[in-house]
Amino acid sequence: MPRGHGKKRKRVRPTPAHQPEESGQPLASGQVVAESTSVSVPASSPSFVSSSPAINPAPPASTDVPKYYGDLSAILARMVVDPDFRMRIFVPPDQSFVFAYWPDIKDCLLARPDAFTPLSSPARPPFEIRAILGKGMGMVATEAIAPGALIVRERPLLAVPMTLPGFYMDMLSNTSYMPESIRTEYFSLTNCKPPELPHAIGILNTNSVALNIMPGQLDDYCGVFKSICRVNHSCSPNAHTRWDADTFAGELRAVRSIAAGEEITFPYTDILVPRHERQEFLLRRYKFTCKCPACSLPPAAQARNDQARTHIDTVVLPSLLSVSAQGTRSVRELLDLVALLQEADSGSPMIWRIVAKELAGTYCGLGMREEAVKWARKAMEMTIAHTGKDKGWAAVVEAPERTEVWRSKVGVRRGK
């Protein structure tokens, strides 16, 4: 499972994996390739023609054709009835990445005009990769980074379907399909898996980040990145990873202000579960004991933090996602949610985005400009961190009185 996939939760919270040490069971034939939150393709790739031959082992015999795909039995059944359904490997002309894909995805990707255009990224990266005491390598800010700001946008060294038959995993472990430049970067990453697992697959399982959404996907995908996979874990992260299917790129964005010299982190696990569950998962998957601020609190504070995270997960989040509840909360209720989020310190841009949006709208309706601007700015920052776009919030920050809610409510009260 890629980083950011909690064992209990179906909703995906992507996170890269790079931590030293972890024990685990080797993957048997037919298991998920990757155990563990961007990627883009160069403009020089005018077509999706594989520079490596398709991997075409004969599939096991089967006659059952499932009605849906995305699991191993479905994939094997599809391979039986469709001789052309085989995993293929694509390497662009500039040899900047490797993409192993099912045929279903090709036409959908090619239909996206931005999928293989050059990526924009900060002219000077606001970070450096260096050794972190007790953690191996990590990412450290070299300058102040504002909430929502782009830290890095990059294509994966390797992107693969998350579920693969065993014979494909055996083939992926032979990295002759990788250009030398990719292979060098790939094998510089940590492998915390048992030695009986092929080294290339161990690196994939240690470092992969969930890509989640692929157009026309048969299966979820995961990717290994040069920089993003150097980011270490924290249960109180200051950054968030996201996958941009339109540009086929991964992004790392700040979720709060990051000071120069501060380590950049994001979560490898579900951070809304109590500390003991997070610790157990991280120790089992990555063989380290988390000592982040949220895991190093005094007992009384730890109990409050766990209670806040659990309450957000089981009560607050379902309510925030409920369409019928939107716009019904009072300022007092929303400010109580803010206090709860601050107590939890989980850094979820999605949750902060919803709460800030409701507060900004409520204050606009009350004609309170200063508070409306404050929360519109917070909504803008978290929306950018979560989606990569401001979704119109910059205009609200600039002139909240021009919003429909301000004009319809404040204007009516003032007789305008």
SS3 at position 40: coil
- Last residue within a domain, chosen from 296, 325, 357: 296
pLDDT band at 90 (very low <50, low <70, confident <90, very high): confident
Q: How far, in Å, CA of 231 to CA of 156, rounded?
A: 14
| pLDDT per residue as tens digits for the range 146-170 | 999 999 999 999 999 888 888 788 8
User: Which two tokens mark 139?
Assistant: 């990412």
Which of 296, 317, 348 marks a domain boundary?
296
Is 283 in the same domain as 350? Answer: no
Its pTM stands at 0.82
> Mind listing the pLDDT tens digit for each residue in 4-58?
544 333 333 333 333 333 332 222 223 333 333 232 222 322 222 333 333 333 3
Q: Could you tell me the residue range of the domain that residue 244 belongs to?
A: 1-296
CATH at residue 26: 2.170.270.10
Q: Which pLDDT score, from 0 to 100, does residue 6 have?
A: 42
**Averaged pLDDT for residues 344-350:** 94
Total domains present in the chain: 2
264 and 275 assigned to the same domain: yes
Tokens of 229: 């996979």
Based on the fold, state whether residues 319 and 288 are members of the same structural domain.
Answer: no
pLDDT band at 266 (very low <50, low <70, confident <90, very high): very high
Residues 51 and 121 in one domain: yes
Distance of CA 374 to the CA centre of its chain: 27
Per-residue confidence (pLDDT) for residue 188, from 0 to 100: 96
CB 280 within 8 A of CB 286: no
Which DSSP symbol is given to 262?
P
Q: Are 254 and 323 part of one and the same domain?
A: no
Cβ–Cβ under 8 Å, residues 43 and 247? no
124 and 74 in one domain? Answer: yes
Strand extents, DSSP E, 248-371 = 249-254, 263-266
Q: pLDDT tens digits, residue range 169-221?
A: 888 898 999 999 999 999 999 999 999 999 999 999 999 998 866 666 667 88
Beta bridge partner(s), residue 258: 145
Last residue of a domain, one of 265, 296, 327: 296
Per-residue confidence band for 96, with pLDDT thresholds at 50, 70 and 90 = confident
Range of weakest confidence among 53-57, 126-130, 133-137: 53-57
**209 and 339 in a common domain:** no
Q: Which structure tokens are listed for 195? A: 């030695």
Pick from 169, 300, 290: nearest CA to 234 = 290
User: Does residue 286 sit in the same domain as residue 331?
Assistant: no
Q: Does residue 374 register a pLDDT over 90? A: yes
- Same domain assignment for residues 114 and 255: yes
Confidence band of 115 (pLDDT split at 50, 70, 90): low
Highest mean pLDDT among 143-152, 217-226, 317-326: 143-152
